[in-house]
Structure 1
């Protein structure tokens, strides 16, 4: 009996070691990918691939609107607008804003207790890049934990300019629209370099729910949020 218990403990210990080794190998693989994207531009992202798969359920010929554009060819107004809207302290933090996560969690709990569906995110631009580039839109503690780990990896390897360049190129701006260049052409028939301050603020306001605003481009909330972001744009710092 004692020998059987010892064998069970050994088997359990071996399983734990194997699981831990697999986890470390997975994290190492992600770190290699972070290094790769620090110098190479992605042709797609995990979020783009997932969106395309969903679209092709209804239309097998569906395609995404996406075109990479260098950082220098993206309007400074859009850079300011996105930072003002999504992560005002972008240039000052190290990837994660724990106080913002706590406040978002408390707000969402109050919303849930009141039976309301509107939720608030506490993610930084770096965290959103980690999710868009490597993960998915699923909501789970595992996915959120992996997002945090990736955010620190990204900040360790990449400059703030590179992080913002990647984010602006893989962010979703419509049901099938990804990246600043495709968004500028889709909504305004312009290039990302030539966006006005108002257009940039409006695009930033769309980020939390891009598929919805693709179909509802003139809501009172979108107009109000655009105005608020436009007022805040001059207050934020963008990486050079």
Structure 2
């Protein structure tokens, strides 16, 4: 008689199936997590396309550190056009022509060894409104993923409006309205071309530069920004927000 092959025990089968079940469970929950994150990002992006952010992570942290912040939100219609042009000329001259990531500027920054920034205004808005400060790969990756979404949902005018209202201009001073009063005693809508250029000139390092008492470096940079603002107005690169 032929010898019968002994049947595998139920316990042995279950043990062999357990790694496969665990992997499927992990993949299922990972996928759910990714979908939840995407949904939350879309909701957050859609919300702030119409609702002004009440604060930002950095503004909140600075407020706790210095005992409060000075910020007054103003719509872009109440900001001097020269201020909007100056900010774009200083930080992102191709603002109207890219989709959130300026690959040319990124390549130039990499070629320069990281000594200059490659972030667009759109990226800075995403970082300031939704993320945190720093240079970690995680933050940069989230920034790169969220920026095209913001560009797809928000108008260029809205992106620039939010940027000008949450940018830091001095310790505890956020937004162009508070900055205009702080440095020059005027409202944002009354800024002159020179004043607007000086405010834009201090944006990369607001804690160490002054718009009302500019160093020779800030004066030279402001002059360059003023010329750049006139250039983008003449060649049409300001058309998406004017």
User: Which category describes the TM-score, using the shorter chain as reference length?
Assistant: 0.7 to 0.9
2:8 matched residue in structure 1: none
Pairing partner for 2:29 from 14, 18, 21: 18
TM-score of the pair, normalised by structure 2: 0.86
Contact 2:183 2:212 in 1 (8 A): no
Q: Does 1:194 align with 2:190?
A: yes
Any idea what the Cα deviations from partners look like across 1:113-146, whole Å, max 9, x if unmatched? xxxxxx3110111111000110111211111111
In the TM superposition, what is the alpha-carbon distance from 1:2 to its structure 2 partner? Answer: 8.7
1:209-220 aligned at under 5 Å gives the runs: 209-214=205-210, 217-220=213-216
- Post-superposition, which runs of at least 4 consecutive aligned residues in structure 1 deviate over 3 A? 1-6, 214-217
Pairing partner for 2:159 from 151, 156, 163: 163
Q: Does 1:63 align with 2:68?
A: yes
Structure with the bigger percentage of helix: 1
1:34-113 aligned at under 5 Å gives the runs: 34-53=45-64, 55-56=65-66, 62-109=67-114
Any idea what the Cα deviations from partners look like across 1:77-136, whole Å, max 9, x if unmatched? 100100001111111111111221122122135xxxxxxxxx311011111100011011
In the TM superposition, what is the alpha-carbon distance from 1:18 to its structure 2 partner? Answer: 1.6
2:140 matched residue in structure 1: 144
| Structure 1: stretches of 5+ with no match in the other structure | 57-61, 110-118
Q: Distance in 2 between matches of 1:105 and 1:10?
A: 44
Larger Rg: 2
In the TM superposition, what is the alpha-carbon distance from 1:215 to its structure 2 partner? Answer: 9.8
TM-score of the pair, normalised by structure 1: 0.87
RMSD: 2.0
Contact 2:202 2:211 in 1 (8 A): no
1:115 matched residue in structure 2: none
2:42 matched residue in structure 1: 31
In the TM superposition, what is the alpha-carbon distance from 1:9 to its structure 2 partner? Answer: 4.4
Q: Distance in 2 between matches of 1:5 and 1:82?
A: 62
Partner SS for 2:112: helix
Number of residues of Structure 1 aligned to a counterpart in Structure 2: 225
Partner SS for 2:159: helix
1:59 matched residue in structure 2: none
Q: Distance in 1 between matches of 2:27 and 2:216?
A: 54
Any idea what the Cα deviations from partners look like across 1:38-91, whole Å, max 9, x if unmatched? 1111221222123223x15xxxxx110000001110011100100001111111
Q: Distance in 2 between matches of 1:235 and 1:72?
A: 21
1:219-230 aligned at under 5 Å gives the runs: 219-230=215-226
